[in-house]
Structure 1
Amino acid sequence: MGTESAAVNFSELVNKNKRTLARLQDSPRLLLHRRDGEDLVLTTAARAEQDQTVVSAATRMLVAMARREPGSMELLLDILPDAFPWVRFLPEPDVHAFAVELVDTMRAADSVGNSASVAQLLIAWQHTAEVYSDPELLAAPTRDHSEDYGPVPDPRDVA
């Protein structure tokens, strides 16, 4: 059994569905390229459940480790740069804040079975690190801006 995802055009699934679906026997996932939309990933329900079980188990272990004793959080802080090299750009207090927020968000996301909030958290912290990595970007928010463009409209009100 292969470990890499196979890729086909979405039209292949529509036009040759049995042959296309048979490819799931050789690959855990099937990447469906779409011309008019975001690509899709097709997998079996059993595989999706296995993936969720693994993620949930890893999350529960990480949360338990981080909360067990004070030294555990230090270990987590020590390994973060290996998992997320960009944390090296964050100030030390922010690395700790990231670690705490990551553990808490992973626990909450696992409880509802939806990891979107974890992905968003990682993206937001990585962007923060990118700002710290670039002196010009870091200086921009603190620069004196003599022009005031007025209040920012609520994005929900913009059509």
Structure 2
Amino acid sequence: MNFSELVNKNKQTLARLKQTPRLLLHRRDGEDLVLTTASRAAQDQTVVSAATRMLAAIARREPGSMELLLDVLPEAFPWVRFLPEQDVHAFAVELVSTMRAAESIANTASVAQLLTAWQHTAEVHSDPELLAALTTDHGADYGAAPDPRGVV
């Protein structure tokens, strides 16, 4: 629904929130918003927290858990098939540790950023021409980059 409906018909809009866990509010001049209840947001956080704690506990305690995690990663994230083997392992370790840290502060932005960064890395590895362009030493050294804070 449009954001203006929330502003202009707030009672009807909020009544719709009782029928669905969240409403997507489209805005003309900005990023879309999601409207939900505080109790639903708390439930979502509880689920994410529980899943994160279970994954982290399994990764730390069970013998062979890292191998299991490495086996299931391609099912959860098909793009890991393009990563070199050592990068798949690094991704798995970084994912678990970042999820634990993010869960401890109830903010998943760092996990989303991590997933995006690793997916982009896989995209580079999936394209031989792009990989070569980004990893080839072109012999040019343009010196130290200037500090961007001093550039006007």
Q: Per the shorter chain, which TM-score range?
A: over 0.9
Gapped regions of structure 1 (runs ≥ 5): 1-7
Call closer, same or farther: CA 1:155–1:44 in 2, change over 3 Å: farther
TM-score (norm 1): 0.90
Q: Match of 2:31?
A: 38
Correspondence for 1:100 among 89, 93, 102: 93
Amino acid at match of 1:94: D
- CA displacement at 1:146 relative to structure 2: 4.7
Whether 1:114 aligns to 2:71 is no
Distance in 1 between residues matched to 2:148 and 2:25, nearest whole Å: 33
Q: Match of 2:69?
A: 76
- CA displacement at 1:70 relative to structure 2: 3.2
Correspondence for 2:84 among 72, 82, 91: 91
Distance in 1 between residues matched to 2:55 and 2:137, nearest whole Å: 43
Q: CA deviation digits over 1:90-136, x for unaligned, max 9?
A: 01111000000000000000000000000000000000000000001
Amino acid at match of 2:89: H
Correspondence for 2:15 among 22, 30, 47: 22
- CA displacement at 1:149 relative to structure 2: 4.4
Correspondence for 1:133 among 126, 136, 139: 126
Amino acid at match of 1:52: Q
- CA displacement at 1:143 relative to structure 2: 2.6
Whether 1:61 aligns to 2:20 is no
Q: CA RMSD in A?
A: 1.5
Call closer, same or farther: CA 1:127–1:12 in 2, change over 3 Å: same
Q: CA deviation digits over 1:59-84, x for unaligned, max 9?
A: 00000011113301110100000000
Amino acid at match of 2:49: S
Distance in 2 between residues matched to 1:36 and 1:58, nearest whole Å: 36
Amino acid at match of 2:123: E
Amino acid at match of 1:68: R
- CA displacement at 1:152 relative to structure 2: 3.0
